[in-house]
A = this chain, B = another copy of it.
Amino acid sequence: MTPQMKLGAFLWATGHHIAAWRHPKAHVTAGIDIDHYIQLARTAEAAKFDMIFCEDAAGLREANIGIASQTSRSIGFEPISLLSALAVQTSRIGLVSTASTSYNEPYGLARTFLSLDHLSHGRAGWNLVTSASPIEAANFGATGLKPHADRYERAREFAEVVTGLWHGKLGASGHDSQSFSVRDPLDLPRSPQGAPVMVQAGASDVGRDLAARTADVVFTAAQTFEEAKAFYDDLKGRMVSYGREPDDIKIMPGVSPVVAETEAEAQEKFEALQELIPDDVGVALLSSYLSISDLRRYPIDGPLPELPESEGMKSRQALIVEQSRRDGLSIRQLARHFAGARGHWRIVGTAAQVADELQARFEGGAADGFNVMPSYFPGELDAFCELVVPELQRRGLFRRDYEGRTLRDHLGLKRPA
C-alpha cells in the first residue's frame, strides 16, 4: 500500500483566518457553542481525520483587549472540558489538546489527560507547550515570562514525570527533584493505547531536541517546501541520538487551504477574506508573533525594524524576519500575509491543486501529514472534507476508513512497552 498521510483538524472558534469573524457566514460566538464543535468534530470524523487538535492559552489571546474583542477569537472553551464533551459525541477520531508545562503540575496534567484517554477509549493526545506569552504569565503569579531556556528545562523534566506516570515507571520512591516531587502512581489504570500521544510544536533548537527525545507527533509551521524539508530532515536526524527510529515521530506542518470547484472561485474566496483584515489588527498580531510590544510605532509602509533577540517564540520570529528580508515586504504587507494564516502555509486552489501541493510535500519527504487549519468554520472544513479528502483517497494517499480504534492506531505509532 502507498504510505498514507496523517490529517489533523485544528479547531478554533470562528476560524483560523484573523478576519474570519467578519466573514458574512461567520458564527461569531462559535467559541462557546458546544453544538458548533460537535458538528465540526463529526465532520472531521466522517472524513476519517486522524485527530482534532485544540490550542490553548490561559488568558486573553492578544495584547490589546480592544483588539481581542474585535477578533472574537479570545473567547472560547477551556480545551480539556471541550474535548471531554466531544469524546462522548464521537467514537473514532483522536482528541489532542494543548496544555502548558509552565502553569500546571505534572501529576494533575498526567491524570487529566489519562482520564480523557479512558473516557475516549484511547484517543487522547497532549500537545506540550511552554507558553511563550507574557499575558499568561501575568495570570499565574509570575513576575514576567521566564527565559526560553528555563521554560524548556522545566518542560523536559515535566514531560519525563508525565510519561513516567503514564507508563507506570515512576519507581517505588516516586520522582523527587528541585522542580517536582511526585510520590504516587496515578489513580487510573494504564491507557487503552499504552499512553496518550505526545505532541509538540516547539521549533527552536532546544524545542527540536525535546521533540526528538519525547514527541510522537510534531506540529510545525513552514511556508516553503525547502523550509519544511529542512525542518523534517533536521528533526528526524536528531532522533537517532536518542535511539529512536525516524518513523516514531509524525511531522505534521500546519496548512490553511482555501479550496473551491474552480481556481478563480478559490482566489475570490481568499481575496474576500484578506480584504476584511483591519490593518491595526494585522499589525498587532504581527507584533505578538515577533514578541515585541507594538509595531505601530513604525511607518506601516516601511520595512520591519531591527528586532531585539526574542524570549518568546524564537523560531517564529526568525521565520517572519527571513521572509520580510527575502521578499522585501513592508509592515503592512507582512502583517496581512501572516495575519491571514497566522504564519502557516496557505494553499488557494481547486481540490486537485491542493492535493498536488500536499502530495508533493508528503512524497518529497517534507511531511508525514498535515494539521489542517480552515480559514473559517464550518465552511472551509466542509469544503476540505467534501473536495480534497476524496481526491486524496482516489490517489491512495489517505484512508477510506479507520482500521484501528485508538489514536496510536490511526497514526501508526508503536504502543509504548
Is A328 interfacial (CB-CB < 8 Å)? no
Is A242 interfacial (CB-CB < 8 Å)? no
Is A82 interfacial (CB-CB < 8 Å)? yes
Residues from 76 to 101 in A contacting B, C-beta threshold 8 Å: 76-78, 80-82, 84-85, 87-89
- Inter-chain contact B185/A85, CB cutoff 8 Å: no
- Inter-chain contact A77/B189, CB cutoff 8 Å: no
Residues of chain B with a CB closer than 8 A to A74's CB: 187
The minimal Cβ–Cβ distance linking A36 to chain B, given in whole angstroms, is 12
Is A188 interfacial (CB-CB < 8 Å)? yes
What are the interface flags for A46-78 relative to B under an 8 Å C-beta threshold, 1 for contact and 0 otherwise? 000000000001111100010000000011111
- Inter-chain contact A81/B185, CB cutoff 8 Å: no
Is A105 interfacial (CB-CB < 8 Å)? yes
Copies of this chain, whole number:
2
Question: Smallest CB-CB separation from A174: which chain B residue?
Answer: B138
Is A118 interfacial (CB-CB < 8 Å)? yes
A77 and B139 contact, Cβ closer than 8 Å, known pairs A34-B88, A58-B111, A108-B58: no
Chain A residues with a Cβ closer than 8 Å to the other chain, count: 51
Interface pick from A175-183, A232-240, A340-348, A392-400: A175-183
A82 and B84 contact, Cβ closer than 8 Å, known pairs A135-B184, A139-B184, A182-B139: yes
- Inter-chain contact B184/A111, CB cutoff 8 Å: no
A81 contacts which of B81, B89, B189 (Cβ < 8 Å)? B81
- Inter-chain contact A187/B61, CB cutoff 8 Å: yes
- Inter-chain contact B181/A138, CB cutoff 8 Å: yes
What are the interface flags for A197-210 relative to B under an 8 Å C-beta threshold, 1 for contact and 0 otherwise? 00000000000000
Is A230 interfacial (CB-CB < 8 Å)? no
Is A360 interfacial (CB-CB < 8 Å)? no
When chains A and B are docked, how far (Å) is the Cα of A118 from the Cα of B88?
A: 17
- Inter-chain contact B76/A181, CB cutoff 8 Å: no
Residues of chain B with a CB closer than 8 A to A189's CB: 32, 75
When chains A and B are docked, how far (Å) is the Cα of A58 from the Cα of B105?
A: 11
Residues of chain B with a CB closer than 8 A to A114's CB: 78
When chains A and B are docked, how far (Å) is the Cα of A61 from the Cα of B184?
A: 10
Residues of chain B with a CB closer than 8 A to A34's CB: 87-88, 118-119
Is A130 interfacial (CB-CB < 8 Å)? no
Among A84, A107, A174, A187, which residue has the most Cβ atoms of chain B within 10 A?
A: A187
A78 contacts which of B77, B111, B140 (Cβ < 8 Å)? B111
When chains A and B are docked, how far (Å) is the Cα of A45 from the Cα of B174?
A: 41
Is A159 interfacial (CB-CB < 8 Å)? no
Is A103 interfacial (CB-CB < 8 Å)? yes
Residues of chain B with a CB closer than 8 A to A76's CB: 187-188
- Inter-chain contact A107/B58, CB cutoff 8 Å: yes
Is A7 interfacial (CB-CB < 8 Å)? no
- Inter-chain contact B32/A188, CB cutoff 8 Å: yes
When chains A and B are docked, how far (Å) is the Cα of A76 from the Cα of B114?
A: 10
Residues of chain B with a CB closer than 8 A to A103's CB: 105, 108
Is A141 interfacial (CB-CB < 8 Å)? yes
A-B pairs with lowest CB-CB distance, top 8 = A84-B84, A78-B115, A138-B183, A81-B84, A107-B139, A141-B181, A81-B115, A85-B88
